[in-house]
Amino acid sequence: MHNPVSRMSFWWRPLMLALAIGLAARVLAIGMPAGRGWMLFAAGLAIYLTYHLYQLARLSNWLDGTERPVLSGDGIWGDVLYRLEKLLRARQGEQQKTAADLEQMLEATRSLPDGVVILDTGNRIVWFNEAAERLLGLSPRRDFGQFILYLLRNSRFGEWLQAEDLARTLTLDSPSAQGHTLSLQIVPLPRQQKMLVARDITELARVETMRRDFVANVSHELRTPITVILGFLEAFEDMPESDPREFRKHIPLMREQSDRIRRLVDDLLTLAKLESEPDTRDETVDMVALATRLADEAETLSQGRHQISLALDSRARLIGNGQELYSALANLVINAVRYTPDGGRVGIRWAMTESGAAGFSVTDSGEGIEAQHIPRLTERFYRVDRGRSRASGGTGLGLAIVKHVLQRHQARLRIESTVGKGSTFCAQFPAERVIPETTATIDQV
Ligand SMILES: Nc1ncnc2c1ncn2[C@@H]1O[C@H](COP(=O)(O)OP(=O)(O)OP(=O)(O)O)[C@@H](O)[C@H]1O
Ligand SMILES: [Mg+2]
């Protein structure tokens, strides 16, 4: 290990060496003719100087990079070279670390879900990541060095980019990913470059639209019954002397409307509860008893207007939440009675498949549903015939609740319908939730 010399000895040592050479020359010159001594001294100094010039030349080559590996030397050169090498190694270490950090940063940015485009002062593309390819339709083979305004030809984008208002984001439809909405933002970078960040906000925009629709729908649904009740109350207020019998005449309608508000609020609370509790509290549900109870209730609701049948093809039980399953499956039965004209048939069936799955289905001979409505039936407040559903007391939330409850049981709703013939709504439960009739009783799961 080389010990660096102190600053003092850095100068001191070569001076001493030079003096020593001079002294040696003087001693050697004793007894020689005059002038020889000086010649010897000059020759010594010349050798000494040549050595240093030689080392300087090597150092210069070394600094140019033509001489490798690392130089070594004695004395002052050893010290200088040691320091230089140490400095160089530290610098190389720093450079390697910076390069590794940069590579890591680029790697992270490359796989970011947001699109990132680095632009120079003239808005030419310097670099972009994979998400930018997908969201902005950029191509790594074609678009480096191109003006971004030539590639994203949209007047709103052009105005926004040139305004360089960092506080303002721009919402834009993706030019390449169809149906996707982007939120664009500019972030300033050193050397007057800037970073364009494109975030896919499709899901956010969809949720926001859903939220707005939902609030509008709830308000709309509540307004009608409240208006009816308020109308009556105002009329009675204006007629203080009116006959109480006159007042009584309107009570059924006011009661019906109040009932409607209560049902709507109940359904909204049920939905909110289903959403806030991620898991069901499971128990063993006796599906035979449940189906029988639902068939009885269908009879009560129908009051002899329909032919109700019950087919219990299996005695299998289900692992799930009895209360939730009851309210979901009751909705399928109530719908079948409600949307089937008098004289029609409603069939309730509980059956297992060979794979061990099981299905609860309700088939009716009602008017049927056109194919375009089927995928939307489980949306909140979606009704094929709004007036008809309202008239029969529907809130339009029933199938949304069914969908939620089934999802919580890893089950799905299959809907088949033919206009003019009728529909089948089937809740299909996976084998893991079905206890076949042969298995011993499990009371609590
Ligand atoms: N068996 C069926 N036959 C024909 N149309 C149906 C049937 N079941 C549901 N629909 C249609 O689907 C729509 C949505 O049903 P959903 O159960 O969600 O709401 P609802 O019955 O109108 O109100 P709620 O169930 O909240 O009281 C109904 O309005 C109706 O148009
Ligand atoms: Mg319903």
Residues 88 and 181 in one domain: no
Provide the angle, in degrees to the nearest 10, between the axes of the packed helices 7-28 and 75-110: 150
Mean pLDDT calculated for residue range 116-130:
94
| Prediction pTM value | 0.66
Residue 11 pLDDT > 70: no
pLDDT of residue 7: 53
101 versus 310: which is more confidently predicted? 310
Q: Report the separation in Å between the CA atom of 301 and the middle of ligand 1, taken as the mean of its atom positions.
A: 15
pLDDT of residue 54: 84
Under the banding of pLDDT at 50, 70 and 90, the label for residue 320 is very high
Residues 175 and 214 in one domain: no
Residues 147 and 25 in one domain: no
273, two tokens:
């509860």
- Parent domain of 272: 209-276
State the ligand closest to the CA atom of 425: 1
Ligand 1 in contact with 374 (CB < 6 A)? no
**Mean pLDDT lowest among 35-44, 141-150, 203-212, 376-385:** 35-44
Mean pLDDT calculated for residue range 151-166:
90
Residues 127 and 250 in one domain: no
Handedness of CA 435, 311, 333, 213 (dihedral sign): positive
Q: Report the separation in Å between the CA atom of 335 and the middle of ligand 2, taken as the mean of its atom positions.
A: 5
Task: Quote the CA–CA distance of 132 and 116 in Å, as a whole number.
Answer: 6
Task: Using the 3D structure, point to which of 78, 106, 134 is the last residue of a domain.
Answer: 106
pLDDT of residue 42: 80
Query: Is residue 284 a contact partner of residue 442, using CB atoms and an 8 Å limit?
Result: yes
Residue 18 pLDDT > 80: no
Percent of the chain with pLDDT over 90: 56
Residue 3 pLDDT > 70: no
User: Is residue 440 domain-resident?
Assistant: no
165, two tokens:
């208002």
Task: Quote the CA–CA distance of 137 and 131 in Å, as a whole number.
Answer: 9
Residue 240 pLDDT > 80: no
Task: Using the 3D structure, point to which of 182, 200, 218 is the last residue of a domain.
Answer: 200
Residues 141 and 182 in one domain: yes
Residue 237 pLDDT > 70: yes
Cβ neighbors of 144 (< 8 A, separation 6 or more) are 125, 126, 127
pLDDT of residue 80: 79
pLDDT of residue 71: 61
Residue 443 pLDDT > 50: no
**Mean pLDDT lowest among 70-84, 149-163, 286-300, 371-385:** 70-84
Residues 89 and 63 in one domain: yes
Percent of the chain with pLDDT over 70: 92
Residues 195 and 167 in one domain: yes
Query: Is residue 242 a contact partner of residue 268, using CB atoms and an 8 Å limit?
Result: no
User: Is residue 168 domain-resident?
Assistant: yes
**Which CATH number do you get for residue 249?**
1.10.287.130
Residues 125 and 179 in one domain: yes
227 versus 445: which is more confidently predicted? 227
Residues 287 and 382 in one domain: yes
Ligand 1 in contact with 330 (CB < 6 A)? no
Mean pLDDT calculated for residue range 246-270:
90
Ligand 1 in contact with 336 (CB < 6 A)? yes
158 versus 21: which is more confidently predicted? 158
Mean pLDDT calculated for residue range 42-71:
77
Phi, psi of 89 (to 5 degrees): -65, -40
Q: Which of 399, 402, 421 to mutate to test the pocket of ligand 1 (most atoms within 8 A of CB)?
A: 399
pLDDT of residue 442: 44
Residues 409 and 337 in one domain: yes
**Mean pLDDT lowest among 139-148, 318-327, 407-416, 435-444:** 435-444
Q: Which of 335, 346, 372 to mutate to test the pocket of ligand 1 (most atoms within 8 A of CB)?
A: 335
**Mean pLDDT lowest among 27-31, 299-303, 347-351:** 27-31
User: Is residue 445 domain-resident?
Assistant: no
**Which CATH number do you get for residue 172?**
3.30.450.20
Ligand 1 in contact with 366 (CB < 6 A)? yes
Q: How many domains does the chain fold into?
A: 4
Residue 199 pLDDT > 90: yes
CA angle 166, 170, 172 (to 5 degrees): 155
User: Is residue 161 domain-resident?
Assistant: yes
Residues 310 and 396 in one domain: yes
pLDDT of residue 70: 58
Residues 287 and 410 in one domain: yes
**Which CATH number do you get for residue 327?**
3.30.565.10
Mean pLDDT calculated for residue range 56-73:
71
DSSP lists the bridge partners of residue 128 as: 117
Task: Quote the CA–CA distance of 310 and 312 in Å, as a whole number.
Answer: 6
User: Is residue 442 domain-resident?
Assistant: no
Mark the residues whose beta carbon lies below 5 A from ion ligand 2.
Answer: 331, 335, 398
User: Is residue 441 domain-resident?
Assistant: no
User: Is residue 1 domain-resident?
Assistant: no
Distance of alpha carbon 9 from the chain centroid: 67
213 versus 65: which is more confidently predicted? 213
199, two tokens:
């975030």
317 versus 102: which is more confidently predicted? 317
Task: Using the 3D structure, point to which of 276, 306, 330 is the last residue of a domain.
Answer: 276
